[in-house]
């Protein structure tokens, strides 16, 4: 409105035409064609950008000149090796049954297994560990079971491992391919030739995989710490990474583990007491890994400002925390009378600041854990949490009671006593001043509490 | 550095803090590495890892109201500057400073080639000044950029402005060189403006090669600066005390919570967690 004043335009220039314009578009929306109104409304009342079904098709009828009957007729299946004849319903048009093969015959695919002759066997495929009968049996099973080696291994007469069977099969195929090729150049692109099957590597890989799968939580923790340590070492030395990684037992751990790490602090819905300790240590090992990498990246810079370094370290330390947690950390800092950004950022001040932040994070995590524990184990005490009496003493705080469930802690011994006495008077919770865990009241930390 | 009495903090600093001069429990491990980017023809330019050179600086503005002499377009006389935190000469480290002013100024890019690194102007408006620090060739070839908002008008807007009392805004920061060159280290080893950690005994630095444009002739420190009476005092002691007190509070709280949690589980109190808070 002010803009119009400034420009000198009349204020109510177009009232009536606006109203008229708004009606016609609405009308056309109410009349979808082809579908009844209620059905159209099911889609949300708006036409989709691309019509899913052409509405005219829904009322289509088959052409009138065709006469359709359904008949119970025999058929043959080209996928079968015998001449079994079965019957099924067939849609007959004008007395002419449909032609063509059984429609599902095309799905009968099988793997093309190499077939070697006896001479080829004598010439190329002799192997001390395998008899001809075994090899023949292997290939027969491969044909039958479409190279599903697990099944083949099960059915194999002598007890050979899957890796051995695979090794024999692929080396035979490779030898045949090489023998039959007119020139080596033709087949150099063939994967059998380019990347032959490596038994020992396969065995190792499977063993490693099963190890990862069967790791206990304890082992995962250990691995996380080892990885963090290794990361630190590689970064500070900047040595050849390959040598380093080959020393670790399971190099591919990083992926699933970082996901585990993230889920651990949050996963306290059905905790056992064992979870507490691992979550703390996993969080700390994750933290040290972040810290180490930030330190390393700082050292790579030729020059940086202390405040920049602190920011990076703070970010690294709070990388696992959500936005709300970070805000709560800052709130706590303010309540403790600490500047969010140090006024005199010297090396030691920054270090202290960082440690303080980390400790506050730990504190908040513990508080959350406590909340969860109590929410769990105190369904019968729900009523006492909903409305706790406000402390008259806290009137100087000025703010609302915090909705977050902060356990009622104070830093001076006498305060606790006083508060309990106060609460007894109104007679709300007539429990004895029991463990602080039961006396729930939201309360913020204050520097003045010290 | 006054943290001899802060025993709680000392142990946890291992990660972030590499060795600090006064209270280092162990000597830094010095590593020599040839950096690939060294094109210095003077040779002997090995870089030293694990030796962190730190230059504490204060930068900011000071603005005086011109009172009777004030006009519409020039109501204040102000100075923007970068000084050593203890008012020592920064010329050994900084070669020149570029102050980027508001475009409404003539030649808004002002270069100051020698200490004291400051610039004075007259004006009426507040704006952000970009301060770029350029270092000597053996220090660092990258510049450092700082930003400062020029403040002319005091917080307390009651009453007329005084011509005697200026509006001062200063910020403290530290420039850190994580792997300084040997030459730089040799040059500033005993310089009052620079914090160098203690080197291991028997560690000999070569005699430093002189730098071109080293501002040795003029007096570059700001100890007797005309504005030095207005300079703010940045002492880390207060902040350290506050931080230590805050940490104590938080740690005590954590211990209580841990006790609570273990009581709720019906388990005996858990032994100290691996994160290792030293709380006597």
Say what the ipTM of the complex is: 0.75
Question: Would A22 be classed as within a structural domain?
Answer: no
- B261:A291 CB<8 A: no
DSSP state of A331: H
Which one of A107, A133, A161 terminates a domain?
A107
CB of B131 closer than 8 Å to CB of B99: yes
Of chain A residues 308-347, which have a CB less than 8 A from chain B? 309, 313, 332-333, 336-339, 342-347
| Higher pLDDT among residues A296 and B210, named by residue | A296
DSSP bridge pairs for B63 = B78, B167
Looking at the predicted structure, is the pLDDT value of residue B177 above 80?
Answer: yes
Please give the residue range of the domain that contains residue A173: 118-213
Contacts of A399 (CB under 8 A, 6+ apart): A444
Q: Is residue A170 located within the same domain as residue A237?
A: no
From residue A283, give the alpha-carbon distance in Å to each of A250, A290, A407, B155, B277: 21, 11, 22, 44, 15
Any idea what the CATH number is for the domain that residue A204 is in?
1.10.10.60
From residue A216, give the alpha-carbon distance in Å to each of A1, A203, A267, A276: 67, 22, 16, 16
- A356:B247 CB<8 A: yes
Residue ranges with strand state E in A84-235: 86-93
| Higher pLDDT among residues B5 and A39, named by residue | A39
Give the span between the Cα atoms of B91 and B80, in whole angstroms. Answer: 17
CB of B79 closer than 8 Å to CB of B58: no
* Residue A373 at interface with chain B, using a CB cutoff of 8 Å: yes
Nearest Cβ partner for B174 among A273, A305, A370: A305
Return the minimum-mean-pLDDT range out of A38-42, A297-301, A433-437, B231-235: A433-437
* Residue A366 at interface with chain B, using a CB cutoff of 8 Å: yes
Looking at the predicted structure, is the pLDDT value of residue A256 above 60?
Answer: no
Nearest Cβ partner for B249 among A304, A305, A336: A336
Nearest Cβ partner for A336 among B146, B246, B275: B246
Of chain B residues 150-209, which have a CB less than 8 A from chain A? 172-179
Looking at the predicted structure, is the pLDDT value of residue A396 above 70?
Answer: no
Question: Would A73 be classed as within a structural domain?
Answer: yes
Most confident of A83-97, A380-394, B91-105, B215-229: B91-105
Q: Is residue A331 located within the same domain as residue A353?
A: yes
Which one of A47, A74, A107 terminates a domain?
A107
Average pLDDT over residues A260-279: 42
Strands B128-135 and B167-177: unpaired
Question: Would A174 be classed as within a structural domain?
Answer: yes
- A291 pLDDT band, cuts 50/70/90, is confident
Average pLDDT over residues A92-110: 84
Q: Is residue A122 located within the same domain as residue A184?
A: yes
* Residue B135 at interface with chain A, using a CB cutoff of 8 Å: yes
- B260 pLDDT band, cuts 50/70/90, is confident
Q: Is residue A95 located within the same domain as residue A135?
A: no
Q: Is residue A134 located within the same domain as residue A204?
A: yes
The per-residue pLDDT for A140 is 92
Going by C-alpha positions, the residue among A188, A146, A138, A140 that lies closest to residue A166 is: A138
Of chain A residues 75-104, which have a CB less than 8 A from chain B? none
Supply φ then ψ for residue A315, to 5 degrees.
-60, -45
Give the span between the Cα atoms of A72 and A93, in whole angstroms. Answer: 14
- Locus of tokens 């069967």: A214
Question: Would A372 be classed as within a structural domain?
Answer: yes
- A47 pLDDT band, cuts 50/70/90, is low
Q: Is residue A344 located within the same domain as residue A369?
A: yes
The per-residue pLDDT for A1 is 58
Give me the half-sphere count of Cα atoms (radius 13 Å) on the Cβ side of residue B216. 7
Maximum Cα–Cα distance across chain B: 78
Question: Would A411 be classed as within a structural domain?
Answer: no
Chain A residues in contact with B56 by the CB 8 A cut-off are 346
Of chain A residues 397-436, which have a CB less than 8 A from chain B? 407, 409, 411, 435-436
Most confident of A126-130, A150-154, A259-263: A150-154
Contacts of A61 (CB under 8 A, 6+ apart): none
Q: What's the structural domain count of chain A?
A: 4
Going by C-alpha positions, the residue among B71, B77, B83 that lies closest to residue B220 is: B83
Question: Would A294 be classed as within a structural domain?
Answer: no
Q: Is residue A129 located within the same domain as residue A204?
A: yes
pTM for the structure as a whole: 0.48
Q: Is residue A156 located within the same domain as residue A209?
A: yes
Q: What is the DSSP string of A56-68?
A: HHHT----TT--E
Question: Would A12 be classed as within a structural domain?
Answer: no
Q: Is residue A224 located within the same domain as residue A200?
A: no
Question: Would A48 be classed as within a structural domain?
Answer: no
Average pLDDT over residues B208-222: 70
* Residue A45 at interface with chain B, using a CB cutoff of 8 Å: no
Average pLDDT over residues B117-121: 93
Task: Indicate the average pLDDT of chain B.
Answer: 78
Contacts of A383 (CB under 8 A, 6+ apart): none
Looking at the predicted structure, is the pLDDT value of residue A283 above 60?
Answer: no
Contacts of A419 (CB under 8 A, 6+ apart): A391, A393, A408, A410
- A348:B254 CB<8 A: no
Q: Is residue A205 located within the same domain as residue A158?
A: yes
Average pLDDT over residues B38-56: 66
User: Per-residue pLDDT tens for A304-336?
Assistant: 999 999 999 998 888 888 889 999 999 999 999
Chain A residues in contact with B177 by the CB 8 A cut-off are 302-303
Q: Is residue A206 located within the same domain as residue A231?
A: no
| Higher pLDDT among residues A376 and A73, named by residue | A73
Which one of A107, A140, A159 terminates a domain?
A107
Q: Is residue A131 located within the same domain as residue A206?
A: yes
- A337:B246 CB<8 A: yes
- A302:B176 CB<8 A: no
Give the span between the Cα atoms of A368 and A357, in whole angstroms. Answer: 17
Task: Indicate the average pLDDT of chain A.
Answer: 73
């Amino acid at each position: 409105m002010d803009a119009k004043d400034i420009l000198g335009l009349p204020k109510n220039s177009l009232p009536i035409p606006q109203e008229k314009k708004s009606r016609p578009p609405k009308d056309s929306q109410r009349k979808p064609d082809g579908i009844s109104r209620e059905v159209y409304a099911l889609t949300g009342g708006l036409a989709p950008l691309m019509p899913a079904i052409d509405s005219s098709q829904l009322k289509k009828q088959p052409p009138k000149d065709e006469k359709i009957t359904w008949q119970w007729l025999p058929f043959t299946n080209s996928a079968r090796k015998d001449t079994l004849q079965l019957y099924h319903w067939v849609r007959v048009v004008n007395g002419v049954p449909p032609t063509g093969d059984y429609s599902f015959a095309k799905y009968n695919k099988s793997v093309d297994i190499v077939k070697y002759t006896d001479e080829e066997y004598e010439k190329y495929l002799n192997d001390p560990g395998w008899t001809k009968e075994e090899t023949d049996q292997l290939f027969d099973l491969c044909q039958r079971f479409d190279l599903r080696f697990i099944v083949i291994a099960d059915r194999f007469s002598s007890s050979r491992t899957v890796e051995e069977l695979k090794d024999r099969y692929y080396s035979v195929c490779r030898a045949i391919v090489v023998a039959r090729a007119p020139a080596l150049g033709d087949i150099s692109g063939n994967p059998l030739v380019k990347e032959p099957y490596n038994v020992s590597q396969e065995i190792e890989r499977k063993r490693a995989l099963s190890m990862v799968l069967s790791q206990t939580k304890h082992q995962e923790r250990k691995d996380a710490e080892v990885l963090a340590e290794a990361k630190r070492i590689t970064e500070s030395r900047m040595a050849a990474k390959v040598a380093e990684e080959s020393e670790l037992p399971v190099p591919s751990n990083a992926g699933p583990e970082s996901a585990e790490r993230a889920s651990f602090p949050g996963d306290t819905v059905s905790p056992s007491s064992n979870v507490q300790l691992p979550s703390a240590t996993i969080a700390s090992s994750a933290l040290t890994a972040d810290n180490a990498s930030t330190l390393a990246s700082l050292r790579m810079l030729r020059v940086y400002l202390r405040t920049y370094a602190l920011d990076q370290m703070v970010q690294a330390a709070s990388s696992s925390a959500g936005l709300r947690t970070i805000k709560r950390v800052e709130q706590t800092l303010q309540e403790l009378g600490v500047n969010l950004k140090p006024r005199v950022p010297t090396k030691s001040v920054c270090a202290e600041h960082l440690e303080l932040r980390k400790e506050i994070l730990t504190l908040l995590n513990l508080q959350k854990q406590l909340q969860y524990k109590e929410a769990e184990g105190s369904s019968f005490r729900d009523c006492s949490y909903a409305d706790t009496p406000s402390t008259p003493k806290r009137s100087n705080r000025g703010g609302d009671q915090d909705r977050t469930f902060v356990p009622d802690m104070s830093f001076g011994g006498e305060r606790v006593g006083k508060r309990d006495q106060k609460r007894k008077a109104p007679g709300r919770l007539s429990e004895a001043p029991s463990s602080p865990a039961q006396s729930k009241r939201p309360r913020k930390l204050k520097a003045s509490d010290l | 550095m006054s943290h001899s009495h802060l025993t709680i903090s000392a142990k946890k600093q291992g990660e972030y803090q590499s060795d600090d001069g006064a209270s280092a429990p162990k000597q830094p491990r010095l590593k020599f590495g040839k950096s690939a980017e060294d094109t210095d023809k003077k040779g002997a330019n090995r870089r030293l890892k694990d030796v962190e050179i730190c230059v504490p600086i204060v930068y900011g503005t000071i603005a005086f109201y011109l009172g009777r002499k004030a006009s519409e377009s020039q109501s204040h006389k102000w100075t923007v500057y970068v000084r050593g935190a203890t008012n020592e000469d920064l010329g050994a480290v900084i070669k020149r400073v570029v102050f980027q002013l508001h475009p409404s100024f003539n030649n808004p890019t002002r270069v100051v080639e020698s200490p004291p690194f400051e610039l004075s102007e007259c004006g009426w408006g507040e704006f952000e000044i970009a301060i770029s620090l350029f270092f000597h060739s053996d220090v660092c070839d990258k510049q450092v950029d700082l930003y400062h908002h020029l403040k002319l008008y005091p917080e307390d807007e009651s009453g007329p402005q005084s011509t005697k009392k200026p509006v001062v805004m200063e910020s403290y920061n530290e420039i850190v060189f994580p792997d300084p060159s040997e030459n730089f280290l040799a040059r500033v080893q005993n310089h009052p403006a620079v914090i160098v950690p203690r080197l291991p005994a028997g560690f000999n630095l070569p005699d430093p090669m002189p730098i071109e444009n080293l501002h040795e002739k003029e007096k570059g420190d700001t100890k007797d600066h005309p504005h030095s009476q207005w300079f703010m005092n940045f002492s880390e002691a207060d902040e350290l005390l506050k931080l230590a007190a805050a940490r104590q509070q938080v740690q005590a709280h954590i211990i209580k919570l841990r006790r609570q949690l273990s009581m709720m589980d019906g388990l005996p109190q858990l032994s100290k967690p691996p994160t290792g808070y030293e709380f006597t």
